[in-house]
Amino acid sequence: MSHLMFDRVYIDEAKKRIGEKLTIAGWVIRTRDLAKIKFILLRDKSGEIQITIKDLNLMPSENLGREDVVKVTGETVQSNIANAGVEFIPEKIDVLNKSKQPLPVDITQQTQSELETRLNWRFLDFRNPQTRSIFIIQNKILSSFREYLTNNGYIEFQPPCIISSASEGGAELFSIPYFEKKAFLAQSPQLYKQMTAISFEKVFTITPIWRAEKFNTPTHLNEIRQMDIEQAFADDETVMQVLEKVLVHILTEIKETCSEELKILKQENLEIPKIPFRRVTYTEAIQMLQNIGEQIVWGDDFTKPQEKLLMELVGEKAFFLKDWPGAQKAFYAMPYENNPDVVKAFDCIYGGIEISSGTQRIHIPELLRERLKFKGLDPEDFENYIEAFAYGAPPHAGWSIGLERITMIITGMTNIRECAMFPRDRERLTP
RNA sequence: GCCCUGGUAGUAUAGUCCGGCCUAGUAUGUUCGGCUGUCACCCGAAAGAUCCCGGGUUCGAAUCCCGGCCAGGGCGCCA
């Protein structure tokens, strides 16, 4: 066998290099056997090509099956018979590895395998063009997020994922043994974002977080990835403007570079919202709902059906819901000076789901203690956290975007498990 | 944690209401045979199903009843 690594050409390139002797390699999508002429449809990361075999001596002794891995040396020729306009005429066909048959999941979508079956065989499901498209787009979300922030002076940092205590209350954490101590999986990089931002000024991170809630919904996972920023000398409005720009940058990049994937997912009409996004205050939202007769009063959280109504009433693909009651947001959310019941917190709603939330944080130790008490928490338990703001912490604000959720909206998926390569939910711990 | 719906060959489904011609149908995949230009090739044949698990009713259960597990959806929970 020759040096596979050095002489292989990707299929998209091979299709352009008509008449040259080349070696391509990939997976057999299907074969069409017409006795004295045989066709193999071959796929690699770059595309597909039809291999046309007239010299039957070239065929491997064993029949070729779906997902067999083969290496083919030959040349691309133009063809007015082949639908693609080109086909590959082999001189030599090597089987690098056989695949078991039949496949346990349908990756050609002749029958639509269920999500559960696909997730059980995820490594094979990645060969499905639709699944591939989701993760190619997700990769673009990540790279364009990173690119925008890096180009705008933000420093990427890595928070720890093992933490010592449930500092924020609220969501349940997963506990893990840590030598002779007890530790937890981080539910948020919150404290670390703040500790870095008050020195580096502009920071961001892409990090997994875990929540031990027993939820069972199409929009929740127990392990997710967050794309976070934190910024000093900033208030809630400052970072909302950053969020708008980041989101539009991501969407623009995807629209420009992932048109093939969007088409496969039938999302080619991906709409890019106009900046500035509409800002709807919590109070306005309550009024809007009351106006159509909903049973809701100031201070209530929205029920799911009310959330949906609100989306319709606002009628924007993307908007902010801001100025929430303090009771509904974290203790570190900055209250308005003239109205301490309301905090400088916002959610970004995109495509009907909350993809991001953020706040201006409290940077004054005494105010933090006061808000902790207001929330029924003991400031004594938070002294390490509070101490971080005792040595010249500037005002700061930040937000986080849920990676799987934004992927859902852009790819048009309705179940978040589609948008995590290896999702972790109430039941699923493998693969 | 609650409510609704579902669980049948590798995959996806029909059958279930109203129990018995179900020896469980179909598509696709798989295997074998045939075919010189297919492109979801075509034609023919074969193999492939503890009908999710446990219990019950009945002469008889894929089908009805109870419990469990799992899945999808709707809620709840979700700094």
- ipTM above 0.85? yes
Q: Does pLDDT of A4 surpass 90?
A: no
Q: How confident is the model at residue A31 (pLDDT cuts 50, 70, 90)?
A: very high
Task: Identify any residues that bridge with A70 across adjacent strands, giving them in sequence order.
Answer: A26, A95
Question: Does residue A82 lie within 7 Å of nucleic acid chain B, judged by its CB?
Answer: yes
Question: Does residue A151 lie within 7 Å of nucleic acid chain B, judged by its CB?
Answer: no
pLDDT in tens, A340-388: 999 999 999 998 889 999 999 999 999 999 998 888 888 888 888 899 9
Question: Does residue A371 lie within 7 Å of nucleic acid chain B, judged by its CB?
Answer: no
End-to-end CA distance of chain A: 34
pLDDT at A165 (0 to 100): 74
**Which CATH architecture group holds A123-277+316-419?**
2-Layer Sandwich (3.30)
Rounded-to-integer distance, Cα A205 and Cα A184, Å: 20
* Identity of the amino acid at A205: T
**What tokens does A362 get?**
């409290």
Rounded to whole angstroms, the distance from the CA of residue A392 to the C1' of nucleotide B67 is 63
Q: How confident is the model at residue A86 (pLDDT cuts 50, 70, 90)?
A: very high
State percent of chain A over pLDDT 70.
97
Q: How confident is the model at residue A122 (pLDDT cuts 50, 70, 90)?
A: very high
Q: Does pLDDT of A3 surpass 80?
A: no
* Bases of chain B within 7 A of a CB of the protein: 1-2, 10-13, 27-32, 34-42, 70-79
pLDDT at A2 (0 to 100): 53
Report residue A285 CA to chain centroid gap: 28
pLDDT at A377 (0 to 100): 83
Q: Which residue's C-alpha is at the least distance from the C1' of B69?
A: A427
Question: Does residue A78 lie within 7 Å of nucleic acid chain B, judged by its CB?
Answer: no
DSSP-assigned states of every residue in A67-78: T-EEEEEEEEEE
Rounded-to-integer distance, Cα A361 and Cα A231, Å: 10
Q: Does pLDDT of A61 surpass 80?
A: no
Rounded to whole angstroms, the distance from the CA of residue A305 to the C1' of nucleotide B3 is 16
Question: Does residue A373 lie within 7 Å of nucleic acid chain B, judged by its CB?
Answer: no
pLDDT in tens, A386-399: 999 999 999 999 99
**What tokens does A319 get?**
């908007």
Q: How much is the average pLDDT of A302-308?
A: 89
Closest alpha carbon to A173 in A227, A183, A356, A327 = A183
Question: Does residue A327 lie within 7 Å of nucleic acid chain B, judged by its CB?
Answer: no
Q: Does pLDDT of A252 surpass 80?
A: yes
pLDDT at A17 (0 to 100): 95
Residues of chain A with CATH 2.40.50.140: 4-97
pLDDT at A393 (0 to 100): 94
Q: How confident is the model at residue A324 (pLDDT cuts 50, 70, 90)?
A: very high
Helix (H, G, I), strand (E, B) or coil at A173: coil
Q: Which residue's C-alpha is at the least distance from the C1' of B30?
A: A102
State percent of chain A over pLDDT 90.
78
Question: Does residue A303 lie within 7 Å of nucleic acid chain B, judged by its CB?
Answer: yes
Residues of chain A with CATH 3.30.930.10: 123-277+316-419
pLDDT in tens, A184-218: 999 999 999 999 999 999 999 999 999 999 888 99
Rounded to whole angstroms, the distance from the CA of residue A30 to the C1' of nucleotide B24 is 31
Of A162-176, A229-243, A318-332, A368-382, the least confident: A162-176
Q: Does pLDDT of A24 surpass 60?
A: yes
**Which CATH architecture group holds A4-97?**
Beta Barrel (2.40)
Q: How confident is the model at residue A5 (pLDDT cuts 50, 70, 90)?
A: low
338-357 of chain A touching strand B, CB 7 A cut-off: 357
pLDDT in tens, A131-180: 999 999 999 999 999 999 999 999 999 999 999 875 555 678 898 999 99
pLDDT at A110 (0 to 100): 83
